[in-house]
Chain A
Amino acid sequence: MNKTKQPLFHIVKRGEMPWYFSWGIRAAAIVLALVCCGLISTIVTSENPIQIFVTIFDGSFGSSRKFMVLLQNTAMLLCIALALTPAFKMRFWNIGGEGQALAGALASAACMILMKNQPNLVVLPCMVLTSIVAGALWGLVPAFFKARFGTNETLFTLMMNYVATQLVAYFSVVWENPKGSGNIGVINPNTMVGWFPEILGNKYALNILIVAVVTVAMYIYLNYTKHGYEISVVGESERTARYVGIKVEKIIIRTMLISGAICGLAGLLLVGGTNHTLNSAIVDGRGFTAVMVSWLGKFNPIWMILTSFLLVFLGRGAGEIATDFGLNSSFGDILTGIILFFIIGCEFFINYKLSLTKTSKKEEK
């Protein structure tokens, strides 16, 4: 007999499979992730893992206030992810969501501060308009250079983030309040000029509602409109796009205007609806987390609701354990990392399977 070792298993690509199969794999991955998290928590902190999971859950659902914060944060993350998605579908790697949202936030804060004696009826429309324009402008610059000179959009959008951050830092000093603090503080705390109205006594309701509308609109835009179709064609193959007469440069610029505009809208919601202030950390890294939301949701706005919810839920839970158990706050991040690892890793098992090598029973005749 020969000495060559028969490999024990090999990797085979799966074909079509029913939906419950892939969801079963995802569910199994989450269960495994939780088991793994429990083990690590017990070993590292010698706390009861069940207690830790309960606390994670409490972080999001512990009180109605916490629940509203969960929804609000999910909406904000989702909003930026929705903004990035059309660009991603076009294979334009816009990682400048942070800067585009900051530009929008800066514009709305400027309106609130400079027009503080005007009625809300004037200020709010101004905020909407300027923030959307500011975000779109931040998206337009890299798009223009990409379309004209073929510059690398990843680097360009990234650099635009720093420009926006520094601009906000500059204006934080210009508009500082009180003097000498270097911070803007809450804008118009008494007159509430430029603050979003409450709906049904809930101050986040309007934000959540707006994002819900954007989600549905984006879903329709990407899947049922001529623009959405052009975006998909350009993303899949620029040469095919040119071949059927699509002007690729025009699509790049148009799509990035939309992408930036929605980021600008997110900035508006953060300033006018949530924080009523401006600082360079107001977007809080969502411009980057949104990249993950969009990818995990496979560029489908409806799936992205789930993925943004999951990420915010994990983040809130991580914060909760840190305070409740007096652990280093990084511990929560470790758990989040483990769970994400399992969720992303399970996609491999959805696309491929390991099959044991079979040897045929029949002997040579």
Chain B
Amino acid sequence: MEKRVAAVKMRNITKTFGSVVANDKVWLDIYKGEILALLGENGSGKTTLMNMLSGIYFPDEGDIFINDEKVVISSPKDAFDHGIGMIHQHFKLVDVLTAAENIILGLEGKLDLKVASEKIRQICDSYGFDVDPNQKVYDMSVSQKQTVEIVKVLFRGADILILDEPTAVLTPQETDKLFAVLRNMRDAGKTIVIITHKMHEVEDLSDRVAILRHGHFVGDMPTKNTDAQEMTNMMVGHSVNLNIVRPDPVDPQPRIEVNGLTVRSIEGVLKLEDVSFTAMSGEILGIAGISGSGQKELLEAIAGLQPVESGSVCYIEDDGTREELLGKDPLSISEMGVTLSFVPEDRLGMGLVGGMDLSDNMMLRSFRKGKSFFTDRKSPRRLAKQVVKELDVKTPGIETPVRKLSGGNVQKVLVGREIASAPKVLLTAYAVRGLDINSSHTIYDLINQQKQKGVAVIYVGEDLDVLLELCDRILVLCAGKVSGIVPGRGAKKRDVGMMMTRLGGNNNE
């Protein structure tokens, strides 16, 4: 093996939050000129570890060496001084400023936009970025914003870049572009650490993987010597099955019929235009599309949470009776006897109450039951215990506020509650966003179980590989319009990707 130079050495790093040990005596080396994929389940301490490198947190114990020199990083500025830059999951940009203004924001010294723009152009040219320094951030797509974040970090002279789940919000095409740029940067001698849950990206991009489990460092190896199965097993600590099953739908009947649905936002922007489709019982209908193409509005319109301009959403009972759902709020929909479950995108902002404990969150759906003026605390507690047991939710107890749980466990609580009401229709939005591979598979299994019970599942997803493996049919949205509906079996990732960016897809090029 060639000689490697460690750019960063982390030694005995320990970080605790109260009684929770996020990192326990972690040793990690990051070598110059490599792309390191940092893997681990949700809550295994990846982001915490990288936050200590970028100056967000300060370690309780342990030392950090940059180029063999011991350093103290107690603020993001210290991190920049040592050439470390982090691109967070949530972008930190000022919407009303231009790309160049955002990039130089907070820098000391004379403000010279011209010089800055010139330097930005140079950076863009050398790595193959595509940024217009004078474009306002509010005019940018998610991927452009991300590019600005990366350029911002490079502009400050970072040699070590940390990217926290950078592809979660990108289309496959954008991901490919990002990866090309990252490879260019590696070849130019930069060091890159990427945190991701998507195994095929790890295999595609990284040179080496390092794995954390429950805050401990479990091991590292060159990517070419391993595979998704082995990495997953190391992350989880035992062997897991990575195949997504797709049972054939049994006796599918129309359940939800959407016709000519058009939705405008409060600002008058067209979010959905003339969307029509039918969701069948016992099948999973996938919704693909670039984020913000109207997925949220579509699900919320069906759930009675989104005012609609025109169109209709019909619920069809087993005996063929049709009921219009539009114009009704969630309460009247459930009073009609339509059991519609909805796992929204924003789990803690919409589906759950972060400050309440597990059993109080279970009560959200059931608290109205009965005539009594007082709440029934027993059955939600029973349900909470059942969900914790059946879905293997990792929590200190059912009295723990859900905000304190990790992402995967929060999602299990939410999905567990939603399917506990034995729904006829299950709407899910980005059900596995931010979840590790093991939790994701638990969620897929749960969704499949619902499908086999005859539930009509509408699954909004962002990982095309999963959509193609899991769904019976895939509806592709492009800027609020239906770009096409394709059968899940045999669909090509490239074709679906094209349909996401262009109505109907596959035209010319």
Contacts and interface: CB of A to CB of B under 8 A. Distances in A.
Q: Do these two chains interact? A: yes
Interface stretch (A46-54, A166-174, A178-186, A241-249): A241-249
Interface residues of B, number: 51
Contact of B374 (A2, A10, A226): A226
8 contacts: A7-B58, A224-B374, A226-B368, A242-B329, A242-B330, A245-B331, A246-B331, A364-B9
Given A15-B17, A236-B353, A242-B330, A4 B71 contact: yes
B311 interface: no
B20 A225 contact: no
Contact of A226 (B9, B78, B367): B367
Contact of A4 (B72, B346, B349, B356): B72
Contact of A16 (B11, B18, B62): B18
Interface string A343-365: 00000000000010111101010
A66 interface: no
A339 to B, nearest CB: 29
Contact of B331 (A2, A5, A247, A360): A247
Contacts of B368: 226
Nearest to A15: B18
Given A2-B70, A12-B60, 11 more contacts: A13-B18, A15-B17, A15-B19, A226-B368, A226-B375, A240-B351, A242-B305, A243-B330, A245-B330, A360-B61, A364-B65
Contact of A243 (B62, B350, B363): B350
Contact of B364 (A1, A12, A240): A240
Interface in A240-264: 240, 242-247
A358 B72 contact: no
A15 B20 contact: yes
B83 interface: no
Interface of B: 9, 11-12, 16-20, 58, 60-63, 65, 69-72, 74, 78, 303, 305, 329-334, 342, 344, 346, 348-356, 360, 363-365, 367-368, 372-375, 377
Contacts of A230: 367
Contacts of A362: 11-12
A270 B285 CA distance: 65
Nearest to A11: B58
Interface string A259-281: 00000000000000000000000
Contacts of B19: 15-16
Contacts of A227: 373
Interface residues of A, number: 38
B66 to A, nearest CB: 10
Contacts of B11: 360, 362, 364
Nearest to A228: B375
A240 B20 CA distance: 28
Contacts of B58: 7, 10, 357
Contacts of B20: 15
Nearest to B396: A16
A111 to B, nearest CB: 31
Contacts of A5: 72
Contacts, number: 107
Chief secondary structure at chain B's binding surface? mixed
Interface string A63-106: 00000000000000000000000000000000000000000000
Nearest to B376: A226
Interface string A209-253: 000000000000000111111101100110110111111000000
Q: Which 10 A-B pairs have the closest CB atoms?
A: A15-B18, A245-B331, A15-B19, A245-B330, A236-B353, A4-B72, A239-B350, A244-B364, A360-B12, A10-B58
A226 B348 CA distance: 21
A237 B350 contact: yes
B334 A240 contact: no
A358 B330 CA distance: 54
Given A16-B18, A236-B353, A236-B356, A245 B334 contact: yes
A232 B342 contact: no
A237 B353 CA distance: 7
A14 interface: yes
Nearest to A358: B61
B309 to A, nearest CB: 20
A7 B348 CA distance: 35
Contacts of B363: 229
A6 interface: yes
Nearest to B58: A10
Contact of B60 (A7, A233, A355): A355
B343 to A, nearest CB: 11
Interface string A298-317: 00000000000000000000
B349 A237 contact: yes
A105 B365 CA distance: 42
B21 to A, nearest CB: 10
A227 B374 CA distance: 8
A226 B349 contact: no
Nearest to B372: A226
Contacts of B360: 229, 232
Contact of A360 (B18, B63, B303, B342): B63
Contacts of B356: 232-233, 236
A90 B413 CA distance: 24
B63 A359 contact: yes
Contacts of B61: 358, 360
A2 B17 CA distance: 29
Contacts of B333: 245
Q: Which has the most chain A C-beta neighbours within 10 Å: B65, B364, B373?
A: B364
Contacts of A243: 303, 305, 330, 342, 344, 350-351
A220 B41 CA distance: 42
Contacts of A358: 60-61
Contacts of A4: 71-72, 78
Contacts of A232: 353, 356, 360
Contact of A225 (B70, B354, B355, B373): B373
A2 B78 CA distance: 13
Given A5-B72, A224-B374, A243-B305, A233 B350 contact: no
Contacts of A10: 58, 74
Contact of A13 (B17, B69, B348, B365): B17
A241 B417 CA distance: 16
Contacts of B332: 245
Q: Which has the most chain A C-beta neighbours within 10 Å: B70, B71, B303, B372?
A: B70
Given A224-B374, A225-B375, A245-B334, A2 B353 contact: no
Contacts of A246: 331
A46 to B, nearest CB: 46
A245 B72 contact: no
A233 B353 contact: yes
A2 B329 CA distance: 64
A240 B350 contact: yes
B18 A14 contact: yes
B367 A229 contact: yes
Nearest to A365: B11
A361 B359 CA distance: 45
A230 B375 CA distance: 10
